[in-house]
Structure 1
């Protein structure tokens, strides 16, 4: 992103990181997230969103036209979590109608850190895009400043995604939940609030950091005599990839007596506001333990030839695997006909499916 745009964003972002004072014990609530992902997007109302905190309910009433964007962002973040972890022992499984991700969100693990970050990113992404598309009454196209490194002959001012507004709205809507209930400094509940706020911030920043300047040529016969540029967000998959990298490199922290988070191992670098942090080690996801939010890996499909986490040796945790032959139908021998359609045959194919014991 251009330098001037980064300056604008840096003025909006108040780093919570490891020094902010916070006042809540709440975590990502399975009830409200579950309601959001199941509510009707086109006609969602505040009454549909059960489980909101008092502060979120007030914001919902004030910004009712934003709720479809909140819904889209929540759905996108849930799907993205399941995609990013599809080959891991914990695969971001949804459990039941009462709790979207189950007890795993109550543990201060790196998985909970990712859930907070991707949820904040999903809503920020959706609201920023909704502004550009004219769906919200209180915002429109981005008004970010012209990047300093943009070619001087190019025009700045196309209708860009409104990152600034998406960031600020999401900061208010997500973080208010963490700030409403007071806890005593130095307690584990206070540490968890600091962790949640930090990871919420990292999710919003991921949206800003992955945005880019996009330009379009105008002119007769593609002469490109005029170039217009604007700020554009990437597909949410790119943001998910970015946050998955942050998950892999998350930093373990703890609360000190002053009520702040600090790294457990001084040999590691201090995490930035863009990084994810966690307090507790993850449970053993090999074994089914619904109290801890682990569904286990029994019955999970694995890749017999892979040496990665999706491989049968690691996925099945040394228990071995079963192999079953399955016959599937698939399109084959496809031919393109001028003009303009593709004709395929349906073929039967037998494959081996490996599942963990």
Structure 2
């Protein structure tokens, strides 16, 4: 083996498992050291590398958050023509090069939400040295039901701050797309904070619950994904300010000059400006029927579809009218097994024919 081949193989292996939490804990920081470890993670900006060096334990949570967001995105779009193309690259950290469509808006929102969620969860478990439990909110007056804040509330503010600094560090261009990404990053983080749950534990003699101790906790990430999916369907089209740029965020956007009127319950209403928690997009989504890597579309050739469904997963819509192929499979297994004394098992052979459909 040539002398230079071995280091390249080692580095390729490192890139492949760099976001594995087990690998980072055992080998990444302990063996390599934060300086070497952070310098070898591909896809980071200089600001992100600085954050990695100062908080290497938090990078475990960042990797968990990106994987969590990727899995949730694929679940939410499993029946859509676009099924999260491009965000499963472990070195992208949620940054995808596709048109500024509502799918891109969801991608950035769910990635930012995943990092905020995972960092907050790691803080509650004590896996990050810079954070821990958060104090409960200060109440202006005692609660009439006799409960108080206690326990270990999740430190959502730390999680959101870290996710903001890490995820927003990519948006350096300052153009309209960067402003769009920054806004959707924030909307994703807000979705996590708005989904927090209040859990309580009763105290008192014989379970009388004369006092309750309550704390804030994270919901399942599926709830965050469901909320962002609703925002995806209600995402607002925007355009950038053509003159001097405004503050970063939604204030840097304006509605198109053309007045947008909608008919709602027989009345004409003007669409409202998007809120900070809304998802926004700049360009109309392509149909994702044909392969177009510049638009982030792999097409639907070979995708599985449901022949009897009339929804997005149906063969008519999923295959864009091109038709579909039918594949027949026969599965056999041992069934109705009986034990006979002594000592053998007698089984019948069962079979089942199934059909699967894929787009032409």
Bin of the TM-score, shorter chain as denominator length: 0.7 to 0.9
Structure scoring higher RCO (CA < 8 A, sep ≥ 6) equals: 1
Q: 2:110 aligns with which of 118, 122, 126?
A: 118
Max radius of gyration: which structure?
A: 2
SS at match of 1:281: coil
1:39 aligns with 2:28: no
Q: Which runs of 5+ in 1 are unaligned?
A: 1-34, 184-189, 334-344
Q: Could you say which residue in structure 1 is the equivalent of 2:296?
A: 293
Q: 2-side partners of 1:36 and 1:138: how far apart?
A: 28
TM-score, normalised by the number of residues in structure 2: 0.76
Count of aligned pairs between the two proteins? 305
Query: Are the counterparts in 1 of residues 176 and 240 from structure 2 also a CA contact under 8 Å?
Result: yes
Q: What is residue 320 of structure 2 aligned with on the other side?
A: 317
Residues 137-175 of structure 1: CA deviation (Å, up to 9, x unaligned): 111112231567955412311112111111111111111
What's the TM-score, normalizing by structure 1? 0.77
Q: Is the 8 A contact 1:84 1:244 kept in 2?
A: yes
2:134 alignment partner, one of 137, 142, 146: 142
Q: Write out aligned runs for 1:1-357 (5 A).
A: 39-42=19-22, 43=24, 44=28, 45-94=37-86, 105-146=97-138, 152-178=145-171, 180-181=172-173, 183=174, 190-218=175-203, 222-258=207-243, 259=245, 260-264=252-256, 266-267=259-260, 268-328=271-331, 348-357=351-360
The gaps in structure 2 that reach 5 residues or longer are: 1-14, 29-36, 246-251, 261-270, 337-347
- Distance of aligned partners of 1:91 and 1:306 in 2 relative to their CA distance in 1, 3 Å threshold: same
Tell me the secondary structure at the aligned position of residue 97 of structure 2.
Answer: helix
C-alpha RMSD of matched pairs (Å)? 3.0
CA–CA separation in structure 2 for the residues paired with 1:37 and 1:228: 41
Distance change >3 Å, CA 281–CA 302, structure 1 → 2? same
